[in-house]
């Protein structure tokens, strides 16, 4: 603990007698991520992917521009690849890199204060439900590609410093068949015809974390709309595979999206921070949805082939609003490490219900919220219960506590916090938090401090009682 405090004070790696050991397995420890954060001043990526119809492999070419604080130790790059063909530093081949499962090291003798690492490689698509996935539609044989990277899967598509507190700009190029759509976090900058298809170049992203990068391609059906905000507006798109297109109720989805953007922009007093808002209905998506900035993925089961009840539609709207809240709390401002990931999900859970109550005037919203809260009550009575705030030692355990405590109890705790400090102070604290930490990484302490400052209250006791202890309240006669 003293070492980490010292590092934070001096901001360099001199506090390390030697770097912490990198695991041989495909894993990243909190200790090593903290060390690497002291090595790297800034990072930016240029990524080229070559995807072909009907092929289970793809080609990649990554260029990583780095500014380093120190050249004393090797630089470890997270990467899982079928075949690395070439690694260069400023165009000069490196052959003595250290390769392990899930990462490789550039020896210190190759490092420079400012440098470009190039990696050319071939890789296969994921079959685990994470990373980059290739879905072949049985209806027409068409390929649909999409990614899902949380918490530690971006490095299965491209070499990266795959930790949330090393935000970077990403410029993505896709070489794809001529009839495919290219989707990424940023809008298309240019498209040119090449042999066998086209090359689509996206605009560079603002600084985002690696797990939030999205890449998609395929003959997707697309619906377009526009959200007007008085300052140029936000382009909106919906994507789905062709065989599901006739079932997509795009007008209803766009209506929820527009109303949600209006509510959150006003509540946060901060304009939507990205250049577009795409929603991709992805087949066989692992999670229910994922808040990739500018390219939100939604499970395809939210496309309904027949009439459904209002409660089902309200549930889908809640998911859309949940991911939208994360555009600010999670994407604009991102937690430093996975121990605070609960706050992303808890905040989005609470804000989605608040949006339905205030912007949609949904009468049943707090009954629905209580129904979700019972999930947290049940989870909190099990022997496996845990505090909302937990220790996460590595990426392998980052999602182990993603349960009713993270979502339902965490959301209920934030609702209780708003009641405790008052609605005006809570909103003022949230607004101050976004303005102060935009495009940066934070901890739970930063968020609670913003609320405490706005309310002029000491919230240390509240934090201990609600976030750092497990189990439901007990009332005794």
CB-based contact 182:176 (threshold 8 Å): yes
Three-class SS of 307-356: CCCHHHHHHHHHHHHHHHHCCCECCCEEECCHHHHHHHHHHHHHHHHHHH
Q: Which two tokens stand for residue 430?
A: 């949230």
Question: Using omega within 30 degrees of 0 as the cis cutoff, is the peptide bond preceding 151 cis?
Answer: yes
CB-based contact 385:327 (threshold 8 Å): no
Query: Distance between CA 224 and CA 278 in Å, rounded?
Result: 9
Query: Distance between CA 61 and CA 85 in Å, rounded?
Result: 10
Query: Distance between CA 269 and CA 248 in Å, rounded?
Result: 32
Instruction: Give the DSSP H or E segment for 45.
Output: strand 40-50
Q: Which two tokens stand for residue 77?
A: 């790059």
How many Å from the N-terminal Cα to the C-terminal Cα in the chain? Answer: 43
Query: Distance between CA 145 and CA 217 in Å, rounded?
Result: 5
Order of strands across the sheet with 143-148? 131-136, 143-148, 215-218, 181-184
Catalytic residues: 323
Tell whether the torsion through CA atoms of 462, 378, 373 and 411 is positive or negative.
positive
Residue 124, classed as helix, strand or coil, is: strand
Distances (CA, A) of 356 to 316, 343, 349, 366, 471: 11, 20, 11, 9, 29
**What would you report as the CA-atom Rg of the chain, rounded to the nearest whole angstrom?**
23
Q: Which two tokens stand for residue 157?
A: 């598509």
CB-based contact 105:75 (threshold 8 Å): yes
Residue 171, classed as helix, strand or coil, is: strand
Q: Which residues pair with 416 in a beta bridge?
A: none
């Amino acid at each position: 603990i003293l070492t980490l405090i010292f590092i934070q004070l001096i901001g360099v790696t001199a506090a390390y007698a030697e770097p912490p050991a990198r695991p041989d397995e495909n894993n990243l420890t909190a200790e090593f991520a903290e060390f690497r954060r002291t090595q790297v001043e800034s990072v930016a990526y240029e990524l080229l992917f070559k995807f072909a119809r009907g092929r289970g492999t793809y080609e990649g070419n990554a260029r990583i521009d780095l500014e380093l604080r120190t050249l004393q130790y090797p630089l470890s790059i997270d990467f899982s690849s079928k075949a690395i063909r070439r690694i260069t530093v400023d165009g000069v081949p490196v052959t003595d890199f250290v390769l392990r499962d899930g990462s490789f090291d550039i020896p210190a003798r190759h490092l420079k204060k400012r440098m470009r690492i190039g990696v050319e490689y071939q890789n296969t698509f994921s079959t685990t439900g994470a990373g980059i996935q290739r879905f072949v539609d049985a209806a027409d044989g068409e390929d649909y590609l999409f990614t899902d990277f949380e918490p530690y899967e971006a490095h299965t598509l491209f070499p990266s410093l795959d930790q949330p507190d090393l935000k970077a700009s990403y410029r993505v190029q896709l070489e794809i068949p001529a009839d495919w759509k290219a989707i990424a976090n940023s809008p298309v900058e240019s498209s040119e015809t090449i042999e066998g298809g086209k090359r689509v170049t996206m605009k560079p992203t603002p600084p985002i974390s690696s797990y939030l990068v999205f890449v998609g391609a395929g003959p997707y059906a697309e619906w377009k709309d526009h959200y007007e905000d008085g300052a140029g507006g936000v382009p909106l798109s919906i994507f789905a595979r062709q065989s599901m297109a006739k079932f997509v109720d795009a007008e209803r989805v766009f209506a929820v999206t527009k109303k949600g953007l209006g509510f959150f922009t006003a509540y946060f007093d901060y304009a939507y921070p990205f250049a577009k808002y795409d929603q991709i209905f992805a087949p066989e998506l692992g999670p229910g949805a994922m808040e990739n900035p500018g390219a939100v993925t939604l499970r395809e089961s939210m496309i309904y082939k027949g009439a459904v009840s209002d409660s089902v539609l309200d549930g889908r709207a809640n998911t859309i609003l949940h991911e939208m809240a994360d555009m600010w709390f999670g994407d604009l401002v991102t937690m430093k490490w996975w121990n605070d990931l609960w706050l992303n999900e808890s905040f989005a859970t609470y804000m989605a219900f608040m949006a339905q109550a205030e912007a949609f005037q949904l009468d049943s919203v707090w009954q629905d919220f209580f129904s979700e809260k019972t999930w947290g009550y049940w989870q909190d009575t099990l022997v496996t219960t845990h505090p909302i705030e937990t220790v996460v030692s590595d990426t392998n355990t980052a999602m182990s506590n993603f349960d009713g405590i993270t979502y339902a109890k965490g959301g209920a705790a934030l609702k209780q916090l708003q009641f405790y400090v008052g609605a005006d102070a809570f909103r003022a604290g949230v607004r101050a938090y976004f303005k102060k930490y935009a495009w940066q990484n934070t901890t739970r302490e930063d968020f609670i401090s913003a609320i405490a400052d706005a309310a002029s209250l000491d919230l240390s006791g509240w934090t201990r009682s609600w976030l750092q202890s497990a189990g439901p309240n007990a009332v005794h006669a």
